[in-house]
Structure 1
């Protein structure tokens, strides 16, 4: 008697099944690297992860939301450095490393374009990406100013903007190869404008 082929089951699952989340996020990262942002559709992600399209949308409200979580899963995992100079240096190295990730490099232009049309989502994702880091840096800057390490009038927001913008341009536009050297140079530049008694 001929064997009956068993069709592959598409998992629908609920938010309580972490394996579905992991499969979808992994598929998203791989597809971004292989095909770029525009061609990485929800349908393709669902097919690649072997889940249904509704299962994806139950977890992420949009492609931008899904891509954001796939690229930036937990930016607060590494603890801040104790020393203010070391912390600025750590942030510079972290930003360069983040933008040098192939999936991030491929996705950023398309992701930014999508977020321009959805102000609410842009705010949600911005808060998820940076709120904690900016708040922590604000406290560190205030303490550094009080102790005389940093000059008065320094804004944590501006420091973060300079680090993020400089890192993005270096990696995504200039396509620098030596991430560590670029990070050290960026840190030196930022600290030259922040420290109260800088010789930079």
Structure 2
């Protein structure tokens, strides 16, 4: 028995948006988010977004604000629509009318030297202490710490090579002087077990 596969037709406008994002090598996640946000705008309009007017854009943003949309989400929608209007539709007049919402930035909580020392001393495993020390001392993310290799440590220049960090980017991080002996101790402990 043969099953017929029903594939929904993609509108030419949606396909053009997909092509524009693919050419610019947007990640799958970004493409998914942009499609969702442009779809949200089209649903609000009740018609194809290529027929949008400046007043439609204005009313959409007012409705999003009235619905209690969080600031980061509203700004993500602005990014998606700006791309859509400028690149896909070639309507920069609409993109200029989009307003980003200012988001207050709070200062992060910074631990005192005593609090950091207590945190690091609370670990009983040398591996955990080394990982926490690298994360805190060099400002690395968890995935970056987990991916570190011995070849990533440049003890002459006191740098850590971070490969494929956030956004798939490579970067160097400063290696604090008091962290190198701890990493060497962890390396020796790891070699003695092998």
TM-score for the superposition, normalised by structure 1: 0.26
Taking CA–CA contacts closer than 8 Å with sequence separation of 6 or more, which of the two structures ends up with the larger relative contact order? 1
Higher-Rg structure is: 2
TM-score for the superposition, normalised by structure 2: 0.27
Q: Hey, which of these two has a bigger chunk of strand by percent?
A: 2
